[in-house]
Structure 1
Amino acid sequence: MTTPKPDPAADPGWFDGHLDLAYLAVNGRDMTAPPTRSGGPHAPAAVTLPSLAAGRVCAALGTIFTQAGSPDPHGYPAGDFAAARAAALAQLETYAAWRRAGLITALQGPNAVAHAGAAPTHAQRSAPIDAQRSTPAHATGPGPTIAVGILMENADPIAGPDDLPWWAARGLRAVGLTWTGTSRYACGNAVPPADDTGLTDAGRDLIAAMADLGIALDISHLADRSLRQAVDLADRLGARLTVVASHSNARALRADPTDQRHLADDTIRWLATRGGVIGLNLYARFLTPRANGPSAAGQRAATVGDAVDHLNHIAAIAGTTDCCALGSDMDGGFSALDLPRPMASPSGLAALDEALADAGWTQDQRRGFRLANWRRVLGLSAAVGAQ
């Protein structure tokens, strides 16, 4: 039997579980312009708010991404948690300014936390960003909007469990404890195994608080020992804790068992048994077997067929496609040239959907991948993505 080709007019839009929207804005990209006129980092650009609308991306987890040691607006001196918070607040205000301008809306659902937390401290109110820098004057007006929830990528800006309700009240839906290095909560995927000290006591306490508030744990950047300890803690917390991998692929297809950035088969299987999701990362170098050495020399160009291979592998290990979702990370440190061919923007997601249809995925399976699996895991209203 031939699987029907996708009908874009009849299908729901996309939920992208990992987009560095505010990071791009604070680093100089005009997110209200077409990509060709947006400026900022990682040119040529793929992602702006108009290009997401053109690609029918109707919902997303937008990150607050901070980086220890970076001199750029998203950076902070390592160990300076007040500076980490200031960098995060600038990105939080970017999302707030877009909401005020009607450019995005907030994700709504039964797990959403009402904006009723305690009054912010002076540190929490510090470092506001000028709304004119995050939302140019020409950005206001009618147009398609995307529903955005916040994903904290590197939890150093969060002071601890008692601080978490303040962030939750402002749209925080998921937290990754660290990025590639070491945070006050855990070790990241670039930390050598011998140096991976695992979760800190503060990290364990933060995960427990996340379970209490319905905030998902994102395991995408955890080093292996930190990940194993997070798995053990998640098993003790049970169904109270939602676990996702917002932007990771299958380690087995990277042909490098030491590649901590992606998920081993046992982790895929475990995550699926919990009802979690794995967001497919569309960075081309993450879709093909890893080249020898630190550069991409000798690594072939990726295609949407490689992306389908990762999804098929994940589904085969999990025994279901219900754990397969999108976490593209488009423009998250790379450009439109680093997407799998023929993709060059969010509109290229249609080619991925068609490739899944060609691979035998049913309409319901593709609908789950595009939108419904994220919606289920985050407890979102059925109105999210409704056409």
Structure 2
Amino acid sequence: MLLAADTVVTPLAVGPGWVEVAGDRIAGAGTGAPPRPADVDLGDAVLVPGFVDMHVHGGAGAAFPDGDPDQALHAVRFHRAHGTTTMMASLVAAAPADLLRAVDALAGLVADGELAGVHLEGPWLAGARCGAHDPRQLRDPDPGELERLLRAGHGAVRMVTLAPERAGGLDAVRRIVDAGAIAALGHTDATYALTRSAVAAGARVGTHLFNAMAPVHHREPGPAVALLEDSRVTVELVTDGLHVHPALWEHVLRSTGGGRVAAVTDAMAAAGMPDGQYHLGALRVTVTDRVARVADTGTIAGSTATTDALFANVVRHAALPREEALARAVAMTAGTPAQALGLADVGAIEAGRRADLVVLDPDLRVREVYRAGVRLTPVPLAG
């Protein structure tokens, strides 16, 4: 199948081009006129790689922390309809037995390729920066519990977010890395120096940068500065316009060069749903005007965003020519998160990669989604 579009975003160029799909792979891609008449002429569309969301808790009324495979697949299909062809299932702080149960329940979806892995966001987080996590479930990392979770579901856990200042935090970072998972730092009051030590120990991701972490201070730069200054670290940003001001994410992109920033939704079950009452783990969440907050505290509780909306926000706020803005948005929503997760077969329109493609209209709204070369059955795009 040969597709052509007015705008194709590849690692080499942005402009009129074509993509050839053979089976579940991209056989070739190029600029200008296709080598033969296109089987599918997408006209004025913008063709980009499938989005990769490394931090999402659910959507369409379903929550990954509930550990229900059928509901999890419902959330996966909802986000795919919005262009996210690869995603992690993020859990929240919970009791040891509940976390093990959730990981085991989702492991089959990981083995089947429906999920790229499980992300443990907690329970080893700072009480003062708990955000939308149940403070009663926060604790220091216990080596035995950590080992059981890392082994659960035949290694379904791909990433773990923790606060390195918790007792045993640095040892936990080392164990996570030794197990082949990604150690991420977040929900933390760690100092600049301690954050640097955690990165030296192997941490490679900053979880939703600026949110639920000690702020920058002129005498104590804190975790954000330490994460930003190390070229080995990928930093997450929730580019929904609520979690982080666009001026700040633009500053981060300029200071890092953009290749280390992954846009994440941090979406919870209310994504794509009407305002109302929901839950995130054990906490009640109220959604008003599409903003999710913990009912008892008013703390922001993840988001109701989808990655196509993040993509459009990044392009809209970029003080760049449209071609450059599109290339940067693709890096943030596909290339960089894929690289951070070690997924070499997704994240770019490039020969040999899986044929995950998103067809956007000129206003960057999703028209069609292809996953592994198969056009997904259209579904109503809630939200």
TM-score interval, normalised by the smaller of the two chains = 0.5 to 0.7
* Equivalent pair of 1:160/1:206 in contact (CA under 8 Å): no
Give the match for residue 154 of structure 2.
169
Q: Is the 8 A contact 2:216 2:225 kept in 1?
A: no
1:177–1:218: 8 Å Cα contact kept in structure 2? Answer: yes
**3-state secondary structure, aligned to 2:339:** helix
Match for 1:311 among 239, 242, 249?
249
Q: Determine which of 90, 103, 108 is the counterpart of 2:101.
A: 90
Residue-by-residue CA offset, 1:303-334 (whole Å, 9 max, x unaligned): xxx4x42321112232x101111122112756
Q: Counterpart of 1:177 in structure 2: which amino acid?
A: L
8 Å CA contact retained: 2:195, 2:227: no
Cα distance in 2 for residues equivalent to 1:11 and 1:263? 36
Q: Distance in 1 between matches of 2:71 and 2:153?
A: 27
Q: Distance in 2 between matches of 1:99 and 1:357?
A: 35
Runs (5+) with no aligned partner, structure 1: 34-47, 67-74, 76-83, 106-145, 179-185, 187-197, 288-305
Deviations 1:145-179 (A, max 9, x none): x532111111458625654651483221111125x
**Partner in structure 2 of residue 153 of structure 1:** 121
Q: What is aligned with 1:329?
A: 266
**Preserved CA contact (<8 Å) 1:13 1:57:** yes
Query: What is the letter of the counterpart of residue 338 of structure 1?
Result: V
Matched residue, 1:243: 204
More strand per residue: 2
Fraction of identical pairs, as percent: 14
Deviation for aligned residue 1:51: 2.3
2:55 alignment counterpart: 18
| C-alpha distance in 2 between matches for 1:55 and 1:346 | 7
| 2:183 aligned with 1:217 | yes
- Provide, for residues 39-82 of structure 1, a one-character-per-residue CA deviation record: whole Å limited to 9, x for no partner: xxxxxxxxx3232011110112221212xxxxxxxx4xxxxxxx
Residue by residue, what CA displacement relative to the aligned partner does 1:181-202 show, whole Å, maximum 9, x if unpaired?
Answer: xxxxx5xxxxxxxxxxx342x3
Task: Provide the alpha-carbon RMSD of the alignment.
Answer: 4.0
The verdict on how the C-alpha distance between 1:329 and 1:93 changes in structure 2, with shifts beyond 3 A counting, is same
Cα offset, 1:215, TM superposition? 2.0
Match of 1:130 in 2: none
> Structure 2: which 5+ residue stretches go unaligned?
1-12, 17-43, 125-140, 270-279, 293-303, 349-353, 356-383
| 8 Å contact from structure 2 (residues 265, 307) kept in 1 | no
Cα separation, 1, equivalents of 2:109 and 2:291: 27
Tell me the distance in 2 between the aligned counterparts of 1:91 and 1:168: 10
Structure 2: which amino acid aligns with 1:86? A
Is the contact made by 2:64 and 2:89 (CA closer than 8 Å) also made in structure 1? no
TM-score if structure 1 supplies the norm length? Answer: 0.55
Q: What is the one-letter code of the residue matched to 1:12? A: P
Deviation, structure 1 residue 32: 5.1
Partner SS for 2:144: coil
Displacement of 1:372 in angstroms is 0.9
Distance 1:257 1:165 in 2: 32
CA separation of 1:220/1:24 partners in 2, compared to 1, >3 Å: closer, same or farther?
Answer: same
Aligned equivalent of 2:333, options 359, 362, 370 = 370
1:381 paired to 2:344: yes
Relative to structure 1, is the Cα distance of residues 5 and 15 closer, same or farther in structure 2, using a 3 angstrom cutoff? Answer: same
Q: CA 1:249 to 1:228, structure 2 compared with 1: closer, same or farther past 3 Å? A: same
Gap change, CA 1:87 and 1:8, over 3 Å in 2 = farther
Q: Is the 8 A contact 1:325 1:370 kept in 2?
A: yes
Can you list the C-alpha shifts for 1:227-276, whole angstroms capped at 9, x where unaligned?
A: 632422432x4xxx241013224899x9x647xxx9766224323x22x2
Q: TM-score, normalised by structure 2?
A: 0.56
Structure 2 matches for 1:1-387, cutoff 5 A? 10-21=47-58, 23-24=63-64, 26=66, 30-31=71-72, 48-66=75-93, 75=94, 84-98=95-109, 105=113, 146-154=114-122, 155=124, 156=141, 159=144, 162-163=147-148, 165-167=150-152, 169-178=154-163, 186=164, 198-200=165-167, 202-225=168-191, 228-235=193-200, 237=201, 241-249=202-210, 257=216, 266-271=225-230, 273-274=231-232, 276-282=233-239, 285-287=242-244, 306=245, 308-318=246-256, 320-331=257-268, 335=287, 337-338=290-291, 345-355=306-316, 359-360=320-321, 361-383=324-346, 386-387=354-355
How many aligned residue pairs are there?
A: 259
Q: Distance in 1 between matches of 2:319 and 2:337?
A: 23
